[in-house]
Structure 1
Amino acid sequence: MSLRRPTAPGLDGVRAVAVLLVVLFHVAPAWLPGGYVGVDVFFVLSGFLITTVLMEDAARAQHFDLPSFWVRRARRLVPAATLMIVVVAALTLVVGRDTGAGLRWQVLGGLTWTSNWFQVAQGWAYAEQGEPPVLNHLWSLGIEEQFYVVWPALLALGLLVMSRRRLAGAMLALALVSAALMGATYDAGDPTRAYVGTDTHVFGLLIGGALALAKVPHLLRSDRSPPARRTRLVMTGLGVTGLGVVVAYAVLVSWSGPVTYRGGLLVASLASGAVVVAAANRTAFAAALSLAPLRWVGARSYGIYLWHWPLIVLATRIAPPDRAVEAGVLAVGASVAVAAASYRFVEMPMRMDGIGLTLRRWVSPIERLVAHRRRPAYRWVLAVAVSAAVLVGAVTAVGTAPDESRLQASLLHGQRLLAGGAGEPVAPDPEAAAGGAQVPATCRTVGTSVRVSAFGDSVLVAAAPELLGTMARLRATARVGWQYEDVAAAVRKAAARGVLGPVVLIGTGTNGLVDRDDLDRLVRRQLAGHEVVLVSPYVPGRSWQKGALSSVRRVARDHDAVRLADWHGAVAGRDALLAADRVHPNERGARLYTRLVRESLGSC
């Protein structure tokens, strides 16, 4: 019997579709808000392929050779990922701008294939836009590798006590349990735990494995005859429908919404199962996915996935905010080129010849030069020098990386100050009860003689140390990640309790649109009789900046009692006043923020 494995070319096309969805989501999430579903397509395909390979190998050898399987998985995954981690770590030293923050834990998680659990333990928000970790994407590889370690042994044991059909049913039951856990652990404030946990997101791999165990014919099975023409037509219809569901999901369903976690991803995974089965047979659907460009991308999809995210993070950290999409596109182009080189020189040699033999082959030319005392060729000197520099840079980057960025430290400090007594007052304000301030609110009196109630998002949190240091009578309620709705609700709550100061400062629009009509109602009703200062938002490169800025400026123009602190106009293009994310103020920016707030009430 031939040892050559049967192939299904259409599955490379499935890989291509999956990685293209993920890449587009990372480059321009506003254009494809549900592109993250590509990861779930990968999960279903991986579960299907791994289980099929295990069953076929067991059929040939009459037993499960688990050590051989794990060695093949290591050859396939470890060298390319390790190379990427080392190079990216070194690049953080070159790029700077706090790209190395938290690198030590990211590298450790990546090298041990536990990145998802490190993200949970460290409290990293998966959807962090300002300063995303450069190795954030390794969470999915962690789930896959953990599955590869555990599942083969469970499969072998399971088949000792039950049939393939019953084991497939048990896997589907476990998939439902996993999906239910995802829904149960969903937190609207930050769904990271529900999304990256192995227990909550393993259902795609289980669905794929169940399909491999079920009596479904496909090209990778040696014990099944090809399906009849009618069956292939049905498979084509299911594949087209499944792909339509996946694409619709990618266009319509955002990452953070409840639909994603309460059945959405489960439905997308089941649809992906239909895509995989149709692509694994001789169907018209599989023929379309077997086109040469798709197969080329699919074969290199692992490398593209490895490299695209860190290169996007590094490129967008360097580029101006209004060129973030262009920088991301260039980074994707670079990742495809690097992935092609990795596929040729790293992945395929390691898979075919093994890690040890490939490494010896790389080193042997240098050994021969040393043994024969010949003058080394220039290219070998350059290769050794670059390799040594990258390795030294990576070790240095990991050894010197701070646990948190300067912005993270600033936000934590500001949040602690607000939580330590500089928040919303607990007693009604006698000045407000008397109908307003006895002392006019001016640049000199605001926050000193005249009390200020401030409400806002993370920009206000970052500016809090300077605001509180300058204005002793300022009390602030602000949270990282707050949308306009959160800020408005906090203002209304304080107004209902009668604890607003004569001057009310509102800073919002950093994380999303500002509802102009609602802000207008807030000013006319709850804030009637108060001096109101609105801070114009500055969030370059974000799709909502124009709308949020327009809303704030319009309300400020429409009301005599509303002043505009033009933060946007003051800092646009002045990166020296901003943190590495080019949104939040640094220490100098916080001083400017405070001055703008005071000067909005009159010249000092």
Structure 2
Amino acid sequence: MAVAAVLAFHGGFGWASGGYLGVSVFFTLSGFLITRLLLAEHERTGRIDLVRFATRRARRLLPASCACVAAILLATQLGAFDEVANLRRDLFGAVSQLANWAQLTSGRSYAEIFAAGASPVEHFWSLAIEEQFYLVWPLAFALVWARRSPAVRLRLAVAAFALLAVVPAVVARVWSADAAYLSTPARLAELFAGVVLAMVLQHRQVPAWLAWVAPAALVVFVALTVLTPSGHGWAYQGGLPLFALLSAALVAGLQVDGPAQRLLARRPLVAVGAVSYGLYVFHWPIFLLADAHPLGLHGGPLFLAKCVASGSAAVISYWLLERPIRRRAPRPRTTFAPAFGAIAVLVLAAAAIAPGPAPALGHVEASTAEKARIEPLPAGAPGLGTGPVPARPVRILVVGDSTGEVMGAGLVEWAAAHPSLAQVDVEALPACGLVTGGHYLDFLDQYRKACDERLEALPGDYERLHPDVVVVVIAAADTWDRRWGDGPGLRPTDPTYRTHIEDGYRTFFDAAVDADVPHVVWLRPAQIGTEPKYADPSFGDGGQALVQRTVEAAVERHPGRVEVLDFRSWFEGTAYPHDQAIRPDGVHLIPEVAARVATDWFGPNLVRIALR
């Protein structure tokens, strides 16, 4: 059930936007099963054999995950996954059981999982949290819980769950929404919901009426799978511990005979459950490969083919690898030496085969940037003139977010090749729009302070550079969820957020005009995503439309000084929008195409505007 929800979510179906909640069910079920094993072992032997426990977990989990990483390395050697920004880092995180932390420090949001260039081990974050829990919880149980009476154990577990339940909301507030989703401390409450359930049910007869709780919980789970948004919302703001209570109710209800237990006990579902771990491990890289090479399939048939391929890989792994290893006697010597050996081989192979970090967005060779940079304007320098060719190079200053960095880099390449036409300086920064203050709700908030400082420095740039054109290139930095003060996260269409947009844009455009910048150009952004279903929400909920109306108000206030250059309409008239190769992440053009766009359209249009 849980893995089916995840498959539907990763299949990109809009009706399964909350399918990632299946992972939360998996966490709670794991906490329940592992604790039940620990309780049974302690009752049977009076102690917890930590080495034997680790041996069993390694035999259960490592074969499939190592095989998956090996298959990914083979596919990489054959040319797959070449669009991943830093596959080497991702694979190191996967084999070291630190994938969630690797992803958190990568600068990539989990909400971007459907963007082109997604990592084939993106889903290993949840396996990493499981492994980290398996390392810590048995030791904590042996040292703290095992020495207490069952009643004291339960009270300690309930207290631990209550304490851990507030962690995700705190992490979301002081760190980011992504950290509330991906960090280990923020997900422990879901695991501990299963721990509490195992202790509650120890030596207790499960009441028969719980059989009817499971169907109700199952219905609520399905409803939340359909209604919960992807990439934002309550699951990213601290609400998952409450969902864990629903998962615990579902697991409890399945402990007694009833309609839900009988449904899930059917042979096909039991068979899927037996290979569910391998199905989860193998499915995501297979989904990515199928998307890259769909063989003429799309929609439902493509999803079915993905599931068949993933199921086949899981079955093969189960019968030829996982089951034979698990059936052997769990001796530490014959487990850990091969396990560490396999991990070492995979690390060395990843270092040799997987590509490392990609160049930073907007990277330009120093020699090229030097050729294109804006030179000091000498006293008595001529004006631009009014002819088709400027009397001196047009001085262009680019500001904005990471799309400004990329488009600006294209302009720099063009200007370096046409020094008589233009000189370009780029002062864009990641996640930097024109709206000041507040906090983003994800990892991008790390750029807020630098962005506000960059905006404060712009008047000095105008005085120093004397630009003929200031061009603003922002894709979505001013339409991401943001909060001000202690308030909740807001969408741009919220009245408070709308006021901040209007104030920020009015301040920027008025200041540029007051500084005697001849032309201020707003580049209307292209829609984010190579497919409409992967577009940034602001392109559908009115956020981008609000920004555009605010810019048009500035055009009306400053006719002839502020204008819109409609990149979106031009872009959609080309073959670019649906070509994943030229926008691997669905947002940023690759350098070659950014330079081509600058040469064919962007640069000439800025020169034309400057010569008016």
**Residue deviations 1:550-575 (CA, integer Å, cap 9, x gap):** xxx5xxxxxxxxxxx33552525666
In the aligned structure 2, how far is the partner of 1:575 from the partner of 1:249?
31
Amino acid corresponding to residue 69 of structure 1 in structure 2: F
Judge conservation of contact 1:448–1:473 (CA < 8 Å) in 2.
no
Amino acid corresponding to residue 523 of structure 2 in structure 1: I
**Residue deviations 1:12-52 (CA, integer Å, cap 9, x gap):** xxxxx110111111111533221111111000000000111
What is the SS of the residue equivalent to 1:202? helix
- Offset at residue 62 of structure 1 (A): 3.3
From 37, 56, 59, the equivalent of 1:75 is 59
In the aligned structure 1, how far is the partner of 2:126 from the partner of 2:319?
24
What is the SS of the residue equivalent to 2:237? helix
What aligned pairs does 1:66-145 form with structure 2 within 5 A after superposition? 66-96=50-80, 98-99=82-83, 101-128=85-112, 129-145=115-131
In the aligned structure 1, how far is the partner of 2:287 from the partner of 2:392?
43
What aligned pairs does 1:326-341 form with structure 2 within 5 A after superposition? 327=302, 329-341=304-316
Amino acid corresponding to residue 467 of structure 1 in structure 2: L
From 403, 426, 445, the equivalent of 2:356 is 403
Judge conservation of contact 2:110–2:231 (CA < 8 Å) in 1.
no
In the aligned structure 1, how far is the partner of 2:579 from the partner of 2:146?
67
- CA gap of 1:484–1:275, structure 2 versus 1, over 3 A, is same
What aligned pairs does 1:536-555 form with structure 2 within 5 A after superposition? 536=568, 553=569
- CA gap of 1:443–1:55, structure 2 versus 1, over 3 A, is farther
Amino acid corresponding to residue 476 of structure 2 in structure 1: Q
What aligned pairs does 1:274-285 form with structure 2 within 5 A after superposition? 274-285=249-260
**Residue deviations 1:129-154 (CA, integer Å, cap 9, x gap):** 23112112111111111111221122
In the aligned structure 2, how far is the partner of 1:276 from the partner of 1:322?
37
- CA gap of 1:284–1:82, structure 2 versus 1, over 3 A, is same
In the aligned structure 1, how far is the partner of 2:298 from the partner of 2:174?
30
In the aligned structure 2, how far is the partner of 1:580 from the partner of 1:182?
31
What aligned pairs does 1:504-523 form with structure 2 within 5 A after superposition? 504-508=521-525, 509-510=527-528, 512=536, 513-514=538-539, 515=542, 517-519=545-547, 521-523=549-551
Amino acid corresponding to residue 461 of structure 1 in structure 2: E
Amino acid corresponding to residue 351 of structure 1 in structure 2: R
Judge conservation of contact 2:8–2:16 (CA < 8 Å) in 1.
yes
What is the SS of the residue equivalent to 2:363? helix
Is the aligned partner of 1:342 residue 2:314? no
From 507, 519, 524, the equivalent of 1:502 is 519
From 199, 203, 212, the equivalent of 1:237 is 212
Point out the more displaced range, 162-171 or 94-103: 94-103
Point out the more displaced range, 148-157 or 590-599: 590-599
Point out the more displaced range, 292-301 or 250-259: 250-259
- Offset at residue 504 of structure 1 (A): 0.9
- CA gap of 1:212–1:88, structure 2 versus 1, over 3 A, is same
- CA gap of 1:583–1:189, structure 2 versus 1, over 3 A, is farther
Partner of 1:371: none
In the aligned structure 1, how far is the partner of 2:142 from the partner of 2:346?
44
Amino acid corresponding to residue 462 of structure 1 in structure 2: V
TM-score by length of structure 2 reads 0.71
What aligned pairs does 1:348-387 form with structure 2 within 5 A after superposition? 348-354=323-329
Amino acid corresponding to residue 224 of structure 2 in structure 1: Y
**Residue deviations 1:114-139 (CA, integer Å, cap 9, x gap):** 22222234444323323112112111
Partner of 2:39: 55
In the aligned structure 1, how far is the partner of 2:180 from the partner of 2:479?
23
- Offset at residue 295 of structure 1 (A): 1.4
Point out the more displaced range, 151-160 or 322-331: 322-331
What is the SS of the residue equivalent to 1:98? coil
Is the aligned partner of 1:165 residue 2:140? no
From 264, 279, 282, the equivalent of 1:289 is 264
- CA gap of 1:464–1:327, structure 2 versus 1, over 3 A, is farther
- Offset at residue 505 of structure 1 (A): 3.1
- CA gap of 1:532–1:164, structure 2 versus 1, over 3 A, is same
From 532, 542, 554, the equivalent of 1:526 is 554
In the aligned structure 1, how far is the partner of 2:346 from the partner of 2:55?
30
Judge conservation of contact 1:45–1:273 (CA < 8 Å) in 2.
yes
Is the aligned partner of 1:464 residue 2:457? no
- CA gap of 1:298–1:568, structure 2 versus 1, over 3 A, is farther
* Aligned sequence identity (%): 27
What is the SS of the residue equivalent to 1:31? helix
From 21, 24, 27, the equivalent of 2:8 is 24
From 12, 36, 45, the equivalent of 2:29 is 45
TM-score by length of structure 1 reads 0.72
- CA gap of 1:130–1:575, structure 2 versus 1, over 3 A, is closer
Partner of 1:186: 172
Amino acid corresponding to residue 591 of structure 2 in structure 1: E
In the aligned structure 2, how far is the partner of 1:593 from the partner of 1:84?
39
In the aligned structure 1, how far is the partner of 2:48 from the partner of 2:346?
42
Is the aligned partner of 1:413 residue 2:363? yes
- CA gap of 1:238–1:263, structure 2 versus 1, over 3 A, is farther
Amino acid corresponding to residue 137 of structure 2 in structure 1: W
- CA gap of 1:262–1:580, structure 2 versus 1, over 3 A, is closer
Gaps of 5+ in 2: 336-343, 374-382, 416-421, 432-443, 445-474, 481-500, 529-534
From 133, 141, 149, the equivalent of 1:155 is 141
In the aligned structure 2, how far is the partner of 1:503 from the partner of 1:118?
40
In the aligned structure 1, how far is the partner of 2:349 from the partner of 2:96?
20
What aligned pairs does 1:218-233 form with structure 2 within 5 A after superposition? 223-225=203-205, 227=206, 231-233=207-209
Amino acid corresponding to residue 163 of structure 2 in structure 1: V
**Residue deviations 1:274-317 (CA, integer Å, cap 9, x gap):** 00011122222211222222212111110010001111223324
Partner of 1:540: none
In the aligned structure 2, how far is the partner of 1:163 from the partner of 1:574?
63
Judge conservation of contact 1:40–1:269 (CA < 8 Å) in 2.
yes
In the aligned structure 2, how far is the partner of 1:99 from the partner of 1:287?
45
Judge conservation of contact 2:512–2:520 (CA < 8 Å) in 1.
no
Judge conservation of contact 2:83–2:116 (CA < 8 Å) in 1.
no
In the aligned structure 2, how far is the partner of 1:585 from the partner of 1:320?
26
What is the SS of the residue equivalent to 1:504? strand
Judge conservation of contact 1:34–1:253 (CA < 8 Å) in 2.
yes
Judge conservation of contact 2:76–2:353 (CA < 8 Å) in 1.
no
In the aligned structure 2, how far is the partner of 1:257 from the partner of 1:69?
37
